[in-house]
Amino acid sequence: MELTLWTYEGPPHVGAIRVAASMRDVHLMLHSPQGDTYADLLFTMIEREGRRPPVTYTTFQARDLGSSTAEMVVNSLRESAERFKPQVLMVADSCTAELIQDQPGALALGADLPVPVIPLEMAAYTRKENWGAAETFYQLVRGLLSRQAPPPGSERPPRDANTRPSVNLLGPTKLGFRCRDDVVEIERLLNSMGVDVNVVAPLGASPQDLQAIPKADANVNLCPEVSDLTCSWLARTFGMPTISTIPMGWGATRDFIAEVAATLDLDINVDAVGESRLPWYSRSIDSTYLTGKRVFVFADGSHAIAAARVARDEMGFEVVGLGTYSRERARDVRAAAKEYGLEALITDNYLEVEAKVQELQPEMVLGTQMERHIAKRLGIPCAVISTPAHVQDYPARYSPQMGFEGANVLFDTWVHPLIMGLEEHLLHMFRDDFEFNDSVGPSHLGSEGEGARAQDTSSGHQADDGAVVWAFEAEKELKKIPFFVRGKARRNTERFAVEHGLTTIEVDTLYDAKAHFSN
């Protein structure tokens, strides 16, 4: 039993629904009680989908247990096949159904339905949403393609010299982070290299489209959380190479281009494929103030690893913490963290993440919706880079994270919550001006930066933990520090005082602490 306040991922069957909702002409029959239908709103509200996900829930009740639940499964299957006429019907248990063991997959296979059936095992008590999406996608692809598989060990015929090279983009789904725009951006990038996109899946694909997967020369493992399993099966079974660089950030996009070229044996000049404004924006003098900003990164595996690289190499930040909630990606994130001299934080307990942020006192947090709240509470600027995300992170505008345009978007989104460079100086310069009210703050900062000031309203003389007291003069001195670092100065000084066994904070304590923390 595990005490959970907020969860980063839903249960595995929500992953199955994500795959179904991403596709055309599939239907999912989920054996579940009525409450589980809340999953619909993830799609219709958060992603603003104009249709219910293609799911039929059996919605059994207590009175059905032990007598008619199996019958409900068969009826729901028949009705779904009849009403929606899908090309493929997937069948799964939710957590409760797993306990009553009706084996809906077996029932479906025995029910002589007029449609191919793919049974799914969702392991509700050990696994989570991303795993469920990966497993569903894999079962679907395997179920549809294994009959086409060449005999083991056979050579893949070389590409006909007259056909354009092509790849599949695998992994993007509904409720993924900016998948809709990333697909457009990467497709554009590949086209400009003379590479066609054969199939994009699950997003927008039908089962019939999936049948065409082996026609491409390689698979791009665009969202490993969802497509890793499928890519390795396609590599094993069809000898299709996997392109695994995730093109997020300027450098990674160039690496991706190089990997595509090498895999498809193309002669391509990376500089000629496209460009991003990120390198120049980052070199322009206004960005000097970004130097060494301490950032904490926490996300799904792919976004965490990619963001850390962009943060250090392309923005000039210092990565002071790196972690993921995804246990499946723990190994990769640990390896990445080593490169930054860090120990990765692998947890799906949001309180642990909060404690870590509090301890590290970063100047910026790159995280999920959860970290947005943590950062807000602690008065630290934050940008959302990964799921779980809220409705505002499914924007109307084109806003990819991948490719060259994605790099532009990352620059803008990450810089926005921070104080503009020149402005930082102006704030210093004018902060004693009687007309300048520093509680107003910079006008471009909306609610994200708000916390810095909200935090500071606790101008009582007693520190939060009650152990140390601020002397009047010290408190006055503290007020002279610009508001956007005042909260941090307060916390650092209090921490310093506690660590040094002081009970009163004098002006000197403030400066001792400043000296202590600045090295």
Partner 1 sequence: MSSVIASSVGEHHPGPQTQERGQRAVFCGLTSIIWLHRRIQDAFFLVVGSRTCAHLIQSAAGVMIFAEPRFATAILGERDLAGMADCHEELDRVVSELIARRSGINRLFLVGSCPSEVIKLDLETAAAKLQVKHENRVRISAFSGSGIETTFTQGEDQCLKSTVAELPALGASEDNLIVLGTVSDIVEDQFRRLFDELDIKNVHFYPGRKAGDLPAVGKGTRVIAAQPFVGETARALIESGAELISAPFPLGAEGSKAWFEAAAEAYGVDSERTQQVLEMPYQRAKRAVSVHRSKLEGKRIHFLPDSQLEIPMARFLSEECGLSVNEIGTPFHDQLMMRGELARLPQDVPMVEGQDLDPALARVRAARPDLTVCGMGIANALESEGLRTKWSIELVFSPVQGFDQAGDLAGLFAKPLAREEILEVGSWS
Q: Which of 419, 416, 465, 456 is nearest to 441 (CA)?
A: 419
Contact indicator for 323, 356 with CB cutoff of 8 Å: yes
Residue 99 interacts with which of ligand SF4, partner 1, none, CB < 5 to 8 Å by class:
partner 1
Picked from ligand SF4, partner 1, none, the partner binding residue 388 (CB below 5 to 8 A depending on kind) is partner 1
Among 279, 442, 454, 514, binds ligand SF4 (CB under 6 A): 442
Query: In which region does residue 498 sit, left (phi positive, over 0), alpha (psi from -120 to 50) or beta (all else)?
Result: alpha
Residue 440 interacts with which of ligand SF4, partner 1, none, CB < 5 to 8 Å by class? none
Based on the residue annotation, tell me whether 286 is a catalytic residue of this protein.
yes
User: Would you say 16 and 105 are in contact if contact means Cβ atoms under 8 Å apart?
Assistant: no
335 vs 391, which CB is nearer to partner 1?
A: 391
Could you say whether residue 35 binds ligand SF4 (CB under 6 A)?
Answer: yes
Q: How big is the CA angle at 376 (ends 375 and 380), to the nearest 5 degrees?
A: 55
Give residues 121-150 in contact with partner 1 (rule: CB under 8 A): 124-126, 128
- Residue number with CB closer to partner 1 (327 or 377): 377
Which lies closer to partner 1 via its Cβ, residue 122 or residue 222? 122
Three-state secondary-structure class, residue 8: coil
Residue 44, contacted partner among ligand SF4, partner 1, none, CB below 5-8 A by kind: partner 1
442 binds, among ligand SF4, partner 1, none (CB under 5 to 8 A by kind): ligand SF4
Name the binder of 101 from partner 1, ligand SF4, none, CB < 5-8 A by kind.
Answer: none
> Judging by DSSP bridges, how do beta strands 196-201 and 166-170 pair with one another?
parallel
Indicate the residue among 240 and 382 with the shorter CB distance to ligand SF4. 382
Query: Chain centroid to CA 178: how far?
Result: 9
The pair of three-digit structure tokens given for residue 230, joined into one six-digit string? 């499928």
Among 111, 235, 420, 485, binds ligand SF4 (CB under 6 A): 420
Question: H helices within 23-68, ranges in order?
Answer: 39-41
| Contact between 99 and partner 1 per CB under 8 A | yes
81 is a site residue for partner 1 (CB under 8 A): no
Continuous segment of H or E residues that includes residue 322: strand 318-324
Q: Is 274 in the site for ligand SF4 (CB under 6 A)?
A: no
CB crowding 236-274: b at 16 or more within 10 Å, else e: ebbebbbbbbbbbbbbbbbbbbebbbebbeeebeeeebb
Please report whether residue 441 would count as binding ligand SF4 according to CB under 6 A. Answer: no
Least Å from the CB of residue 438 to ligand SF4: 13
Residue 375 C-beta: closest distance to partner 1, Å: 11
Contact yes or no for 507/471 (Cβ under 8 A):
yes
By DSSP bridging, strand 382-384 and strand 469-470 are unpaired
Q: Which of 64, 255, 286, 512 is catalytic?
A: 286
Name which of 320, 104, 299, 86 is nearest 206 in CA terms: 86
Which positions lie near partner 1, rule CB under 8 A? 1-7, 9-11, 13-14, 33-42, 44-45, 48-52, 56-63, 65, 76, 79, 83, 94-96, 99-100, 124-126, 128, 369-370, 373-374, 377, 388, 390
Supply the residues annotated as catalytic. Answer: 286
